[in-house]
A and B are shown apart, each in its own frame.
Chain A
Amino acid sequence: MPMELWNHCENPYPFVAADVLDAAEAVRASLPNKYCDPEIAACLYDEVLAEYVHCDEIGLHIVTNEHHSGINNLWAASPVITGIVARLTRKVRILSLGTLITVRPDPVRIAEEYATIDVLSRGRLDIGFVKSGATEMVSGDANPMRIREREWEAIDLIEKALTSHDGPFSWEGKFFIHPHVNIWPRPYQQPRPEFWAATSDLPTCAELGRRSIVNTLLFGGYDRTKLAFDTYKKARADAGLPPPGEDRFSYMAFCYVGDTDAEAMRIGQKIPWFLTVSMKSAPQMAKFQPGNVAPEMAPAAWRAGFSKRPSDLSVESLIAQGQMFCGNPDTVVRQIREFRRRVGGVGRIIMMTRQGLVTHAEAMRSFSLAAKEVLPQLQTVSQ
């Protein structure tokens, strides 16, 4: 399979005044929505959907997701947005990564929504799963304990709902109960759309490996990503399964492709807003949230002000850590090839480009260059 480029946009809302954000305990979950101007939001939806249409024309696949109650993301419901994208596009694949299956009460409805999108797009949907956590547990009133177990049961139920075609079946699980599951329509793709999951949690990576689900890492950098992918491969080997192709591995990084390195670095500096501003959270929704870390990890987490965020957020540092691809097309090709080499193979690169104060025009330019100048060079990477 040739290497793929995907465009992921969180549709952020970076227009709240800095003094408001500074005074807020968290910019997710608790920030009053009086700071969201619906007129500006409407323009943002227009722009990002136009970017997705552009991607469809030039061959970049599309990722949507959802977060709630905050400046970081205006996609309140991934299936809603994915359905719109399905109708606006014709060619590329669309990945919902994803709706919050540990927050939503009924996986059967999720399966039905995804089946609908799959039919609507005539089989272009990929379904991604995220464990979620942190502020999402607060805004969704979801118990943060046992979300890993809840995630797997939801995935199992969604899979069974998508692949059962002989009338109602019953599900009486630990977390979900549904005595009469029978979704319409059934999915367009048989037996079901491709599954992905975003995680660096090693036991979860191992289970993804045993199930051949695409494992995507978000900003994991070289070492954590390699460890996750190695765990995936080892779990397959231990289970006597064939080695996975590189299409089982995906990586999301910040990305800006410019006409020149200097231009890319200048615009790319806007992207880490995602880390520097949009992740501001309160301790009770982060390090002190139950289940955030295993109890034996708590002393290190609490003493050190534990954070998964990179410590140095300059573009140069993010590039050096493998968390950002940024430069002219040749530079970005080199960076992606180097990343692929150091993590032992990855077939699907997800670019987070329209982030922070990156403008619509800047994003469109980067996508054009990525499709025209970067993607063809990646096809020569041996798989």
Chain B
Amino acid sequence: MRPLEPEFLRRGRGQPILLIHGVHPVNPAAIFVDLLAEHGAVIAPSHPGFGASPRPADFDTMYDLVHGYLDVLDAIDGDGVTVIGFGFGGWIAAELATLRPSKLKRLVLVDAVGIKISGREQRDIVHFFNTAPDELNRRAWHDPANRPRGIYGLGWQATISDEMTDAEMIIMARNWDSLCLYGWRPHMFNPQLAYWLRRIGVPTLVLWGASDRIVTPDYGRAYSRLIRGSTFAVIEAAGHHPELEQPHAFTDHVAEFLRANP
């Protein structure tokens, strides 16, 4: 198989900060990208099958994504990469960190999915694909009105308007299809991952939107407890996408974490 050639968003200079996106690739117009770029070189690939990134024919599992991101880490100049994973991308980041790649220096998980916490009759993660769009949109944001115009998160289907271009819709459909390919079953978690989180050996910040009702802050606290030495923090007035809903508070948390773990 040829090496993956994903599309990348790059911004800023200095220590590398790798963003692993969630439902949609990182939007270049999102405020938090510029804010983070004040602290390092932001690198944000689109997963294979998302945005304009090609997806090889048999690339269709979390195993593929994790190994794809090992390739991405290898291709980044210099050591000491900070990885920030958002939602579904938080799952990828957590899997990646359990493998202890040598270039990984710090880890930030933002409203991450990926593990099973509760009993067999309690669902930890609202079903992305089987939940009504309006309900997803309500649960994903502290206030859906806070969503930056032209930028989308979970519940995006409820926000389709005539403003959205055909090209945007085609990308959204591609992202949604690919997310489903990787995450339908088991839905958004790896039953084995919770056990192996103990292998994560880098400073870790677990950040959560206080109003996230896709995966609640309690799930985040449990996630954090499984990662030795990790710090858990909530961002007020934010849901599943705190980097979009409260970009300044989000960046402040990350910047403080970078300073505290030089």
Contacts and interface: CB of A to CB of B under 8 A. Distances in A.
Contacts of B184: 143-145, 290
Interface stretch (A192-200, A246-254, A263-271, A281-289): A281-289
Interface stretch (A60-68, A217-225, A295-303, A333-341): A295-303
A144 B180 contact: yes
Given A284-B130, A295-B171, A298-B170, 9 more contacts: A145-B177, A146-B60, A283-B132, A284-B132, A289-B129, A290-B179, A290-B181, A295-B177, A302-B157
Contact of B130 (A145, A174, A285): A285
A290 B185 CA distance: 13
B177 A284 contact: no
Contact of A290 (B60, B129, B132, B160): B129
13 contacts: A142-B185, A143-B181, A143-B185, A146-B60, A284-B133, A289-B129, A290-B129, A290-B180, A291-B177, A295-B170, A296-B170, A298-B170, A299-B169
A142 B130 CA distance: 12
A39 interface: no
A282 B172 contact: no
B166 A299 contact: yes
B58 interface: yes
Contacts of A293: 173
A289 B127 CA distance: 12
B184 to A, nearest CB: 4
Interface residues of A, number: 23
Nearest to A287: B157
Give the 8 A-B residue pairs with the shortest CB-CB distance, closest first: A290-B180, A298-B173, A295-B173, A143-B184, A299-B166, A299-B169, A295-B174, A145-B181
Interface in B106-134: 129-133
A160 to B, nearest CB: 22
Interface size, B (range): 20 to 34
A284 B157 contact: yes
A53 B2 CA distance: 60
A284 B170 contact: no
B8 interface: no
Contacts of B174: 295
Interface in B5-61: 58, 60
A296 B168 CA distance: 10
Interface string B171-201: 1111011011100110000000000000000
Most buried by B among A146, A289, A291, A299: A299
Most buried by B among A141, A144, A289, A290: A290
A138 B185 CA distance: 11
Contacts of B172: 298
B183 to A, nearest CB: 9
A143 B179 CA distance: 11
A37 interface: no
A25 interface: yes
Contacts of A142: 185
A174 B58 contact: yes
Interface string A81-102: 0000000000000000000000
B130 A138 contact: yes
Interface in A291-313: 291, 293, 295-296, 298-299, 302
Interface of A is mostly: loop
Most buried by B among A142, A293, A298, A302: A298
Contacts of A146: 60, 181
B4 to A, nearest CB: 19
Contact of B176 (A143, A288, A299): A288
A177 to B, nearest CB: 14
Nearest to A30: B130
Contacts of A283: 132-133, 157
A302 B169 contact: yes
Contacts of B133: 283-284, 288
Contacts of B181: 143, 145-146, 290
B222 to A, nearest CB: 24
Contacts of A288: 133, 157, 176
A143 B169 contact: no
Contacts of A296: 170
Contacts of A284: 129-133, 157
Nearest to A300: B166
A155 B137 CA distance: 39
Interface in B152-173: 157, 160, 166, 169-173
Most buried by B among A25, A174, A291: A291
A153 to B, nearest CB: 13
Contacts of A25: 132
A297 to B, nearest CB: 8
B155 to A, nearest CB: 11
Nearest to A138: B130
A148 to B, nearest CB: 13
A302 B172 CA distance: 11
Interface string A133-156: 000001001111110000000000
B132 A298 contact: no
Nearest to A294: B173
A141 B160 contact: no
A145 B180 CA distance: 7
A299 B168 CA distance: 9
A25 B157 CA distance: 16
Contacts of B58: 174
Most buried by A among B172, B184, B185: B184
Contacts of A295: 170-171, 173-174, 177
A285 B133 CA distance: 10
Most buried by A among B130, B131, B179: B130
A272 B107 CA distance: 57
A143 B185 CA distance: 7
